[in-house]
Amino acid sequence: MDLLTPELGLFFWTLIAFLAVFFILRKFAWKPILNTLGEREKGIADAISAAERVKAEMGQLQAENEKIMAKAREESSTMMKEARETRDRIVNEAKDQAKTEANKILTEAQAQIQQQKMAALAEVKNEIGNLAVEVAEKILRTQLSAAEAQNNYADMLAQDIKLN
């Protein structure tokens, strides 16, 4: 049982050694350990706040990114709509211009046809007139081949001139 109950001298020297180590540790090691623990606690708190700040910034950036994407989609849609409208307008203008050109060409062609028709009619009339003169000349030559018939015809023309 000697081992279980320490003697007073051993207890006293153990207590003095413990107190000496305690005061030495308190004076030299306790403050640096507490300072290190405080710095570590502060570093962890700073890291957590920085992570939260970064998380908030990321959320804000993501919201801004979504706004930018929505705006880009809207602008793209507007540009596509304007492009379709421009295309339709150009196609309609081209159709209108083609119709105008076709009508102009048709009108000019009809005018040329009418002009050629009139020229052909005039030519036919001239030909008919020339043929009529030739026929009349041939008829008169055959009828006025005798000298007496020529004199009678000249007298008749003279009388017509007097009457007019």
Q: Is residue 116 part of a domain?
A: yes
Q: Is residue 3 part of a domain?
A: no
Contact yes or no for 40/46 (Cβ under 8 A): no
Residue 15 neighbours by CB under 8 Å, 6+ apart: none
Least confident of 18-22, 23-27, 102-106: 23-27
**Residues written for the chain:** 164
How many percent of the chain have pLDDT more than 90?
Answer: 59
Q: How far apart are CA 57 and CA 59, in angstroms?
A: 5
Q: How far apart are CA 101 and CA 139, in angstroms?
A: 56
Residue 144 has pLDDT above 90, yes or no: no
Q: Dump pLDDT digits (tens) for 114-126.
A: 999 999 998 888 8
Tokens of 2: 């000697």
Q: What pLDDT shows up at residue 33?
A: 86
Q: Is residue 101 part of a domain?
A: yes
Domain that holds residue 151: 8-163
Q: Is residue 155 part of a domain?
A: yes
User: What pTM did the predictor assign?
Assistant: 0.41
Report the pLDDT averaged over residues 71-84: 95
Q: Is residue 84 part of a domain?
A: yes
Residue recorded with tokens 């000496």: 20
Q: Dump pLDDT digits (tens) for 84-101.
A: 999 999 999 999 999 999
3-state secondary structure of 164: coil
Q: Is residue 53 part of a domain?
A: yes
Q: Is residue 115 part of a domain?
A: yes
As for how many domains the chain has, the answer is 1
> Residue type for 66, please?
E
Dihedral over Cα of 57, 62, 64, 68: its sign: positive
Q: What pLDDT shows up at residue 72?
A: 95
Report the pLDDT averaged over residues 46-55: 95
> Residue type for 95, please?
K
Distances (CA, A) of 19 to 5, 6, 85, 131: 21, 18, 94, 160
Least confident of 1-10, 17-26, 125-134: 1-10
